[in-house]
Structure 1
Amino acid sequence: MNARERRAARHQPPPTEAGARPRRRKDPITVEQVVDTALGIIATEGYDALTMRRLSAALDTGPASLYAHVVNKADLDELLIGRLCARLTLPAPDPAAWREQIRALCEQLRDQYLKYPGISGAALAMAPTDLETVRVGEGMLAVLLAGGIAPQRAAWAIDALLLYVAAYCLELSVAHRRSEQGDAVWPADRDELVRRFTALPAETFPHTTRHAAELTAGTGHDRFDFTVGLMIDGLT
């Protein structure tokens, strides 16, 4: 089912469960409540904890009643990413400051994603059909075009930047979850990483042992800024 069909289906009555006694709420559920509650679950438990059953329990209703507002998990994902995109402030395109404006938009989106661990995974492989998501793409395109970037390069740059922002935030959420579970792939301590690299046999890993400090330097956001800047500078 495509996005248009899913949105049309929101106006259809929810499916009934044969033989099941419907649960009742004092107040009707709204789409805004569904999204608010879903974001609350993600903020405290992570994106992986969000299921339609978990969401319906938090809303004190049966799972079937959610389908009056969202068709499935993919439809809910669109609403969630759209809500985060609605919080982004789009600048008036400035040809003299387009690099800074694009970088700031990427940072805004990054910060929204990081408030909700794992939610950026919902943005991967998602077609931008929600109007708030399209609004962000429109704003980024306007900034790049104002900076003199050719339309095709600008379009692909937006795709690449959004993909990187989502992947960066997803990696941080995965690392955090593994750390909480005591299953971190890498030690969090930079000195320990340097020790491991420099302890490698130099004849086999000459560059790794020699440049262990550079390989482990910087915070995650330092690397984020570097990569986004590299992508932006490459456009010209």
Structure 2
Amino acid sequence: MSPTPQERRAARHQFGTGSDTPAARRGPSGGRKKPITVDAIVDTAFGIVEREGYEALTMRRVANALETGPSSLYAHVVNKEDLDELLIGRLCAEIDLPEPDPACWRQQIVSVCTQLRDQYLRYPGISQAAFAAAPSSVDTLRVGEGLLAILIAGGIEPQPAAWAVDSLSLYVNAYSLEVSLANRRISGSDDNWVVSRGELLRRFAALPETFPHTKRHAAELTAGTVRDRFDFTIGLLIDGLPGARRQP
């Protein structure tokens, strides 16, 4: 008897992706089409997100793109949440985790976070799939393990190191989602939602005197690129950790 989708999911959590038995196609052309596999489902889902954004991703949308019915997908994935887990797992599997080095642990943390950010930004809005989801697959756990090992090598005690992994992951997810949403608005027709720095400076300058600090420091409030702010915040989180080894 073939394993159920739930059993396949449990196997992935223990040993990676597990077996991926092709599902038969439904309909008169079933014998002439390429069999559906977990990899085919995930590849198709990534294509939808890349072209249309994460909000467009549904099981029915994937099934339509594969020219099949949703029931064919459920032979491999339990539900949409399971698909989300597979997507994030695929991205996490691409992260290059260095051997923890006490001499450059800070740069290693920044590198891992930057890689994860760039993976998320390839697929607009996909970091939503990582919110409020416990890292339970081998691929996502691998990234958490790598971050934790680097922090401990940097002199951080296990408890603050564990919370730092959570904080760093949450920030990377939120940053990636904000950038994706802003880019979508900029490329769309809603020009009033995202404004230029010049427009922000004009708005701040027009504020009443009940906003003295905002008016006085408008240049600082609007300075830097989104990447500058990312680097600053990651550095702030790292440098605030108790017991961290300082680097030149």
* Equivalent residue letter for 2:107: E
Alignment deviations for residues 129-177 of structure 1 (CA, whole Å, 9 cap, x no partner): 1110001111111111111111111111000000000000101111222
Partner residue of 1:231 out of 229, 232, 237: 237
**Partner SS for 2:133:** coil
Matched residues, percent identical?
67
**Partner SS for 1:166:** helix
Taking the aligned partners of 1:119 and 1:170, their CA distance within structure 2 comes to 7
Partner residue of 1:171 out of 178, 196, 200: 178
What corresponds to 1:48 in structure 2? 55
Taking the aligned partners of 2:194 and 2:69, their CA distance within structure 1 comes to 43
Taking the aligned partners of 1:121 and 1:185, their CA distance within structure 2 comes to 24
**Pair 1:96 & 2:98 matched:** no
What corresponds to 2:246 in structure 1? none
More displaced, 130-139 or 180-189?
180-189
How do residues 50-199 of structure 1 correspond to structure 2 at under 5 angstroms? 50-184=57-191, 186-199=193-206
Alignment deviations for residues 102-126 of structure 1 (CA, whole Å, 9 cap, x no partner): 0110000000000000000000001
Alignment deviations for residues 23-64 of structure 1 (CA, whole Å, 9 cap, x no partner): 725221111111111111111111011111110111121111
**Number of residue equivalences:** 230
Q: CA deviation at 1:183?
A: 2.4
- Structure 1 spans left out of the alignment, 5+ residues: 15-19
How do residues 5-24 of structure 1 correspond to structure 2 at under 5 angstroms? 7-8=9-10, 24=30
Change (3 A) 1:187 1:56: closer
**Partner SS for 1:113:** helix
More displaced, 83-92 or 31-40?
31-40
Taking the aligned partners of 2:53 and 2:110, their CA distance within structure 1 comes to 26
What corresponds to 1:17 in structure 2? none
Normalising by structure 1, report the TM-score. Answer: 0.90
**Partner SS for 2:234:** helix
Change (3 A) 1:172 1:194: same
What corresponds to 1:207 in structure 2? 213
Q: CA deviation at 1:188?
A: 3.3
Taking the aligned partners of 2:89 and 2:182, their CA distance within structure 1 comes to 25
**Partner SS for 1:70:** coil
Change (3 A) 1:125 1:6: farther
Taking the aligned partners of 2:194 and 2:180, their CA distance within structure 1 comes to 15
> RMSD of aligned C-alpha atoms?
2.5
Taking the aligned partners of 1:23 and 1:155, their CA distance within structure 2 comes to 52
Q: CA deviation at 1:4?
A: 6.5
Taking the aligned partners of 1:221 and 1:116, their CA distance within structure 2 comes to 17
Normalising by structure 2, report the TM-score. Answer: 0.86
